[in-house]
Structure 1
Amino acid sequence: MLEVHRTHRAKIRNHAQVAESLDRHGWSASKLWNVANDHSREV
């Protein structure tokens, strides 16, 4: 099976304005990953 990995890079110029939102999104993505990973191990 072929696996494709893509990485996007960006620069944030207004970090002070978006830091809190990025932290929340990162936390949510981490929790979603953990749930999906746990589910795949059970199945």
Structure 2
Amino acid sequence: MNRVEEKLNSLFKYRSELDSSEQEVFDILIQYAREVMVTVNV
């Protein structure tokens, strides 16, 4: 799980390049990815 979490966290360097509406979608996708990761116990 740590490896996947590291990959998700590394995506945040790109977040600042997005406008506010894109950042909102980005945040939703990251949250969804974390929920999936926990569900499947990666």
Q: TM-score range by the shorter chain?
A: 0.5 to 0.7
Identity, in percent, stands at: 7
Unaligned runs of 5+ residues in structure 1 are 1-7
Match for residue 36 of structure 1? 37
TM-score normalised to the size of structure 2?
A: 0.54
Moved over 3 A (4+): none
Q: CA RMSD in A?
A: 3.4
Structure with the higher fraction of residues in helix conformation? 2
Unaligned runs of 5+ residues in structure 2 are 1-11
Aligned length: 32
TM-score normalised to the size of structure 1?
A: 0.53
Q: Which has the higher contact order (CA 8 A, sep 6+)?
A: 2
